[in-house]
Amino acid sequence: MSAIAPSKQTYAREVENTDTLRGCAALFFRFPTPRVLALKILAFIIARPFLGPLTYMDAVFVGAVVLWWPFQEWLLHWKMLHFKPFKLGPFTIDPYMSKKHRYHHRHPWLLETTFLPPESFYVLVPLHIGLWWWLSPTQGLAATGIIAFATAALIYEWVHYLTHTPYRPRSSYYRWIWRNHRLHHFKNEHYWHSFTAPFLDVALGTGPSAKSVETSDTCLTLGVDDEF
């Protein structure tokens, strides 16, 4: 438990002004993951002009990230974050990110659990930069890809965090996201896997009418008896 539980415990309902967008934004950047992502984006925006001219391929790279990101977040949520541990000989296969996500379902109002684990950035940030640098035809396009992907990650972090605060939806699109994510946490964890693109759940069959879905008794545990 000690390796999974966050070191701090912040509940938005106990922080002043988290029923407003401005208050939520001020609190958001007190957490390490958004700060790291924002600094990464800023660093590569500053570096981009020194790495070659912008071309139409930069728009292609940004468009590819925009198209890919919703599928990635849906797939990783469904397959990795909801991965159930299993025995392989004497070993138990149980990825760290899956454990963290189960803790999040157990404690949905604990804001530290809504973010990608800061410790994972020791691996993910250099891996992400290295892959773009290696796979891209130019350094400039690599920087564009890094900016686009990190921006998508920051938007995802913001949207997920916001759904776990007292802030109530204003726009119809965010209301759709907010409702789906609450249904995922408190109605049935097998549905509504998308965070920023709820239309993808509809297209992929994981966004049914709430009335057509039975209420699950494993929303909090994800069917795994962790000692949280």
What are the CA-CA distances from residue 60 to residues 50, 85, 128, 154, 197 (Å)?
20, 39, 19, 20, 20
Rounded Cα distance, 155 and 124, in Å: 17
pTM for this prediction? 0.93
Using only C-alpha atoms, what is the Rg of the chain? 19
Identify which of 224, 221, 166 has the alpha carbon closest to the alpha carbon of residue 12: 166
pLDDT for the residue numbered 2: 41
Identify which of 87, 116, 104 has the alpha carbon closest to the alpha carbon of residue 185: 104
pLDDT tens, position by position, 95-148: 999 999 999 999 999 999 999 988 888 889 999 999 999 999 999 999 999 999
203 in helix, strand or coil? helix
The number of beta carbons lying within 10 Å of the beta carbon of residue 152 is 20
Helices (H), 32-171: 32-47, 56-75, 96-106, 121-135, 139-163
pLDDT for the residue numbered 1: 39
Rounded Cα distance, 39 and 33, in Å: 10
pLDDT (tens place) for every residue of the chain, 228 residues total = 345 666 689 999 999 999 999 999 999 999 999 999 999 999 999 999 999 999 999 999 999 999 999 999 999 999 999 999 999 988 999 999 999 999 999 999 999 999 998 888 888 999 999 999 999 999 999 999 999 999 999 999 999 999 999 999 999 999 999 999 999 999 999 999 999 999 999 999 999 999 999 999 999 999 998 765
